[in-house]
Amino acid sequence: MSSLIQIGELSERAGVSHRTIHYYERLGLVQPAEREGAGYRYYDETALKRLEKIAALKRLGLNLDEIAAVLPLYFADATGIKGKEKVVEILKVQLAKAETQLHELTAFKRDLEGNIARMEELIAQAQRG
Amino acid sequence: MSSLIQIGELSERAGVSHRTIHYYERLGLVQPAEREGAGYRYYDETALKRLEKIAALKRLGLNLDEIAAVLPLYFADATGIKGKEKVVEILKVQLAKAETQLHELTAFKRDLEGNIARMEELIAQAQRG
DNA sequence: ATGTAACCTGACGTTAGCTTTAGATTGTGG
DNA sequence: CCACAATCTAAAGCTAACGTCAGGTTACAT
């Protein structure tokens, strides 16, 4: 059962507004599986998965253009992708960024843990004294 | 030698525009060590360090409000911070976000590496065949 | 003392990523 | 069959994080 859903359900399940979905559609990030005569959009499950992937990539700091560049890799057959050299370049840039970010994030996490420990110690001292 | 620098040198060394520094100043993120009669801003080394920290935190996806909340922890004496419980809460939220992001980022990196390998293999095949 | 480079402020412009508004159309439970 | 919820489009509005513009002041080298 390919059971298509409308934009209302999709937006609710994906946790984004229907206007956001329209916006993403214009940017080529998601497309309805079909549109009947009246213009209503009907989506399948992959639409939901795309929206979830978009959200995840956004959390990593990619903007919608960058997401548009890497998203097809998650849903398209790799052999069918045109301009593979270009895509590889983009991916390598993203990889370098990801690696930098991993280091910074690890350092940031350590800082946070250290600061939390310090603060909690100070709070405990204040309560004792 | 506390050798103060002007906004031009600071902006160049930090890699941000002087208008950005003005903007950050209005948000309370950086302050000049002193301003003489004419209004010129003179900065010390900590200003540069603050700008670098701001840039690093931005790369992790924090917005300027969030940065304003955690930045003092890097430069202020912890004992002097008011509302420690509140600060700890903020830090813990940041920590949880950082951990989530670490996982997602690690997964994303794996995906990238896999995709790069696949694409390069396809490119190599196309060149051979 | 003058040119010119660095600085100042305030106001307006810009881009991304949406949200809101407004009015029209469509689908459906009672 | 009709009220009403869901959907549609286009256009305008909004926030963050700056950049640009315009006009004016300051510092310093020649």
- ipTM, two decimals, is 0.85
Residue entry with tokens 């196309």: B126
Q: Compare CB distances from B95 to A113, A123, A126 and report the shortest one's residue.
A: A113
Query: Where would I find the H helices in A17-83?
Result: 18-26, 45-59, 64-70, 72-75
B58 CA vs C14 C1’ separation (Å)? 20
First-last CA distance in chain A: 67
In whole angstroms, give the CA distance from residue B96 to residue B124. Answer: 42
Tokens of A43: 């989506």
Res. A2: pLDDT tops 70: no
pLDDT (tens digit per residue) in A33-85: 988 777 899 999 999 999 999 999 999 999 999 999 999 999 988 898 888 99
Query: Which chain B residues touch A if contact means CB-CB below 8 Å?
Result: 56-57, 59-61, 70, 73-74, 78-79, 81, 84-85, 87-88, 91-92, 94-95, 98-102, 104-106, 108-109, 111-113, 115-116, 118-120, 122-123, 126
A22 CA vs D11 C1’ separation (Å)? 15
Q: Which residues pair with B34 in a beta bridge?
A: B42
pLDDT classification of A116: cutoffs 50, 70, 90: very high
pLDDT (tens digit per residue) in B4-30: 999 999 999 999 999 999 999 999 999
The fold for domain B1-76 equals Multidrug-efflux Transporter Regulator; Chain: A; Domain 2 (1.10.1660)
Q: CB of residue B49 closer than 7 A to nucleic acid strand C?
A: no
Look at domain A1-60 and name its CATH class.
mainly alpha
Q: Where are the domains of chain B?
A: 1-76, 82-129
